[in-house]
């Protein structure tokens, strides 16, 4: 066991990892802390390189104690693709994309589900519940099915249809709410209190973030244990950004990376940008965003419980926060598919649009190494693509302009 304890980043209270813990008594999320001396004595770069290409190759920096409790579908080690054609088109010499769309369930949520469900199984959880904008619900439902854990999921009625179908086919108890994820969260919180279920809401259990942080571990390994200059991440709940920042700091403590961490960019939509508004004012927490809406449904989070951790990562890396219009997001989605053959989710496309804007403003330099996080597969969002091809009749002549 390499976990030493759970710790509150606000009040520094410590908790035993073998107990079922949700939030700190002060209301803050809890973070997993490791015995880094023990990790360093048992984990080397060479050992990691010799292991299978999945996220469990970093097992010393993950919270699951016994291998028999691991619930896996082969998740992890997604490609870090160099986008040369696109980079040449927009004026970036070193543009990369971490493509999470090929993971089980079609999104990066598989990482959090794999580790979160594995740890829930280890703690003896029989039923868990969560609100979701779609992809997390789909991923957790599928992993719960594999683990034999009952999943209860509540999502907005306007959530994409495909993640809804993932929940249903996996046998989860799925409910829709006429509202936003914040409304779903209130319903779930009440049900959890009444039924004593395990709360798998974003950052209300400590282990989802540990799965998400493996994106950072992989990026470092794929770049030869070096750091990019800039990393752009679509921030709704922001768990992935928090996790990547945590991963980089753990690697730094191990001495596996040196120098500055990448400037981290939290990308949001103009229709829901609480983190951006907070960053612009220099605040350490965000304010609830009224009437949130965007085509990038996964980042429609009016108020994230871990907003202070997202902002900390941005501030401490000299990063920034950017709000992108739906129009620019959809333009970037089409550009990435047309130029690179990359059909990304709208959240990932928003990162590309943000990179273009920051390049035009001089915040990103043309020769800097820039990594975009594409958090899901584009085919999960067919509603973002307009397709109305000409209809041919048998015997018609084909003419291509």
Q: What is the CATH number of the domain that holds 99?
A: 3.40.50.1100
Cα separation, 105 vs 219, whole angstroms: 21
Cα 326 to the chain's mean position, in Å?
20
DSSP string, 350-366: HHHHHHHHHHHTTSS-T
Cα 313 to the chain's mean position, in Å?
15
Number of domains in the chain: 1
pTM: 0.95
Cα separation, 179 vs 193, whole angstroms: 21
Look at residue 117 and tell me if it is in a domain.
Answer: no
Look at residue 144 and tell me if it is in a domain.
Answer: no
Look at residue 157 and tell me if it is in a domain.
Answer: no
Q: Is residue 85 a contact partner of residue 92, using CB atoms and an 8 Å limit?
A: no
Q: Which structure tokens are listed for 209?
A: 């973030």
Look at residue 221 and tell me if it is in a domain.
Answer: yes
Look at residue 309 and tell me if it is in a domain.
Answer: yes
Burial class (CB in 10 A: 0-12, 13-18, 19+), 80: middle
Cα separation, 154 vs 191, whole angstroms: 11
What's residue 1's pLDDT? 76
What's residue 50's pLDDT? 98
Look at residue 248 and tell me if it is in a domain.
Answer: yes
What's residue 383's pLDDT? 87
Cα separation, 167 vs 241, whole angstroms: 25
Q: Which residues pair with 174 in a beta bridge?
A: 153
Look at residue 338 and tell me if it is in a domain.
Answer: yes
pLDDT tens for each residue of 262-290? 999 999 999 999 999 999 999 999 999 99
Look at residue 259 and tell me if it is in a domain.
Answer: yes
- Using the 8-state DSSP alphabet, how is residue 291 labeled? T
What's residue 388's pLDDT? 87
Which structural domain range is residue 262 located in? Answer: 80-106+209-380
Using DSSP, state whether 165 is helix, strand or coil: helix
What's residue 400's pLDDT? 81
What's residue 387's pLDDT? 84
Q: Name the one residue in this structure whose structure tokens are 């943000």.
A: 354
Distance, first Cα to last Cα, the chain = 63
Cα separation, 375 vs 111, whole angstroms: 11
Extract the residue ranges of the chain whose pLDDT is less than 50. none
Angle in degrees, 0-180, between the axes of helices 135-147 and 161-169, rounded to the nearest 10: 10
Q: Which structure tokens are listed for 112?
A: 């959090």
What's residue 386's pLDDT? 85
Q: Which residues pair with 154 in a beta bridge?
A: 131, 175
Tell me the residue length of the chain.
401
DSSP string, 123-155: TT--EEEEE-SSHHHHHHHHHHHHHT-EEEEEE
């Amino acid at each position: 066991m390499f976990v030493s304890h759970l710790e509150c980043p606000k009040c520094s209270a410590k908790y035993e990892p073998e107990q079922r813990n949700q939030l700190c008594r002060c209301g803050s999320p809890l973070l997993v802390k490791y015995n880094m001396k023990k990790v360093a004595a048992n984990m080397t770069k060479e050992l990691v390189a010799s292991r299978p290409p999945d996220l469990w190759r970093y097992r010393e920096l993950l919270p699951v104690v016994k291998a028999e409790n691991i619930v896996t579908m082969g998740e992890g080690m997604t490609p870090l693709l160099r986008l040369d054609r696109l980079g040449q088109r927009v004026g970036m010499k070193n543009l990369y994309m971490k493509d999470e769309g090929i993971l089980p369930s079609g999104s990066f949520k598989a990482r959090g589900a794999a580790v979160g469900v594995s740890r829930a199984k280890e703690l003896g959880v029989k039923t868990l519940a969560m609100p979701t904008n779609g992809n997390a619900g789909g991923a957790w439902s599928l992993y719960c099915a594999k683990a034999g854990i009952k999943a209860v999921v509540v999502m907005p009625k306007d959530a994409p249809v495909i993640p809804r179908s993932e929940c249903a086919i996996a046998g989860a108890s799925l409910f829709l709410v006429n509202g936003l994820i914040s409304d779903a969260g209130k319903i779930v919180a009440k049900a959890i209190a009444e039924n004593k279920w395990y709360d798998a809401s974003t950052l209300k259990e400590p282990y989802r973030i540990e799965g998400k942080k493996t994106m950072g571990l992989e990026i470092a390994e794929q770049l030869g244990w070096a750091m990019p200059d800039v990393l752009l991440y679509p921030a709704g709940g922001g768990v992935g950004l928090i996790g990547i920042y945590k991963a980089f700091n753990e690697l730094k403590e191990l001495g596996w990376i040196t120098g500055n961490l990448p400037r981290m960019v939290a990308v949001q939509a103009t229709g829901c940008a609480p983190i951006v508004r907070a960053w612009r004012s220099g605040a350490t927490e965000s304010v609830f965003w009224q009437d949130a809406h965007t085509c990038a449904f996964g980042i429609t989070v009016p108020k994230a419980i871990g907003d202070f951790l997202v902002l900390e990562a941005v501030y401490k890396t000299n990063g920034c926060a950017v709000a992108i219009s739906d129009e620019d997001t959809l333009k970037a989605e089409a550009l990435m598919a047309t130029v690179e053959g990359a059909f990304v989710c709208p959240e990932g496309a928003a990162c590309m649009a943000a990179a273009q804007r920051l390049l035009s403003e001089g915040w990103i330099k043309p020769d800097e190494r820039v990594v975009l996080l594409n958090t899901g597969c584009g085919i999960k969002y067919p509603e973002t693509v307009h397709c109305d091809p000409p209809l041919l009749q048998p015997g018609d002549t084909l003419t291509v302009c």
